[in-house]
Amino acid sequence: MSANNAFHIAVLAGDGIGPEVMAPALEVLRKVGDRSGLSFRFTEAPAGANNYLATGKSMPDSTIKLCEGADAILLGACGLPSVRYPDNTEIAPQIELRFIFDLYAGVRPARLIPGVPSPIVSADQRGIDLVVIRESTEGLFASMGKGVVTHEDARETMVITRKTSERLFDFSFRLAERRKARGKQGTLACVDKANVFKAFAFFRGIFDEIAKKHPDVKTDRLYVDACAAMLVKRPWDFDVMVMENMFGDIVSDITASLIGGLGMAPSADIGDTYAVFQPCHGTAPDIMGQGKANPTGMILSAAMMLDWLADKHGIESATEAGEQIERAVDQVYAGGLTPMEFGGSNGTADITRAVLAAL
């Protein structure tokens, strides 16, 4: 086997149901790796609220060092509602990793899988297949831990820089071009509030500059409120959307709700060198240890990791492996698999077995 087909993956299972959904994703990767001539070495490391309770830090230095040397990072859900920093903010290594590794492009796909219910009328016939790209290191989140609170008021600052915006838009146009080559719409919308805030007018202006380099990609410009209204009426009109950090945080939860909920939604935070892959859902401590957790979002995040590794290293078999996982997930849901959040009886073990069998 070529060394280029062997990948070292840092595994940060996290808190709550994080370890419960991580284990199935690793099983799926091992099986698809055996079929595709890929080799994975998984190294687990602590991160999250439980580590904070034990050590006073969300992640030890050894975890960060492991991530620096790995080919990719798989992250389970992190944080617990009852565990907070002294300023009452959440323990969120997923956010900290974005700043540590400059993971400026938050990629949040929303694809309606056959057999999965959507609250949108006609979605099962029209389909939903879009991607929210959320800038992940600036925007309103740049103020995280730096806000000023007095008795009279509280202030947070939004930051948008040219350097990060240019990289973000370059990434977004390349993704739209890749999707077009795969038969998708290949369109890109800039979502902002440029009619009210100078920072968003600056953001949109940079988008317009970068758009000139990509004349084959059809572009649009939308205000975030109008975008939200359109998403819950005609989500099939959208392909790729790019936006500021906080807007992306909100809009990506809307789009996840259109395809069955956060349990179905994968995600990635990608930079120029490093990338983290994790499900969109939280730690769900209310169902922890009961076998009810839906591992689909984590499994599909692993498929996203394979696609990123394939693109980064030029390994076509990794692309095919990721597509095999997606096809297996589609097959089992189309066949009637019904997770508990949809009112069914299929828990973590059932979903895992079904996907492995479909592979």
Can you name the residues that pair with 106 across neighbouring β-strands? 134, 269
Question: What tokens were used for 207?
Answer: 């988008």
Across the chain, mean pLDDT equals 95
The CATH 3.40.718.10 portion of the chain extends over 1-104+261-358, 118-259
Average of per-residue pLDDT across 234-251: 97
Q: What is the pLDDT of residue 2?
A: 37
Q: What is the pLDDT of residue 1?
A: 34
142 or 135, greater pLDDT: 135
Domain 1-104+261-358 CATH (choose: 3.40.50.300, 3.40.718.10, 3.30.420.40, 3.40.720.10): 3.40.718.10
Using H for helix, E for strand and C for coil, what is the string for the chain? Answer: CCHHHEEEEEEECCCCCHHHHHHHHHHHHHHHHHHHCCEEEEEECCCCHHHHHHHCCCCCHHHHHHHHHCCEEEECCCCCCCCECCCCCECCHHHHHHHHCCCCEEEEEEECCCCCCCCCCCHHHHCCEEEEEEECCCEHHHHCCCCEECCCCEECCCECCHHHHHHHHHHHHHHHHHHHHCCCCCEEEEEECCCCCHHHHHHHHHHHHHHCCCCCCEEEEEEHHHHHHHHCCCHHHCCEEEECHHHHHHHHHHHHHHCCCHHHCEEEEECCCCEEEEECCCCCCCCCCCCCCCCHHHHHHHHHHHHHHHHHHCCHHHHHHHHHHHHHHHHHHHCCCCEHHHCCCECHHHHHHHHHHHC
Average of per-residue pLDDT across 257-263: 96
Residue 226 has pLDDT above 60, yes or no: yes
Question: Positive or negative, the Cα torsion across 205, 207, 210, 212?
Answer: negative
Of 83-97, 101-115, 194-208, 276-290, where does mean pLDDT reach its minimum? Answer: 83-97
Average of per-residue pLDDT across 77-86: 93
Give the C-alpha separation, 254 to 248, whole Å: 10
> Which CATH code is given to the segment(s) 118-259?
3.40.718.10
Give the C-alpha separation, 57 to 52, whole Å: 5
Q: What is the pLDDT of residue 145?
A: 82
Confidence label for 3 from pLDDT (cuts 50, 70 and 90):
low
Residue 121's region, left for phi above 0, alpha for psi from -120 to 50, else beta, is: beta
Average of per-residue pLDDT across 37-66: 96
Residue 89 has pLDDT above 80, yes or no: yes
CA 73 remoteness from chain centre: 12
Q: What are the backbone dihedrals phi and psi of residue 188, each rounded to the nearest 5 degrees, phi first?
A: -135, 125
Task: Quick: pLDDT tens for 141-176.
Answer: 988 888 999 999 999 999 999 999 999 999 999 999
Q: What is the pLDDT of residue 101?
A: 97
Task: Quick: pLDDT tens for 295-342.
Answer: 999 999 999 999 999 999 999 999 999 999 999 999 999 999 999 999
Q: Which of 63, 87, 86, 85 is nearest to 12 (CA)?
A: 63
Contact by Cβ (8 Å): 339, 117: no
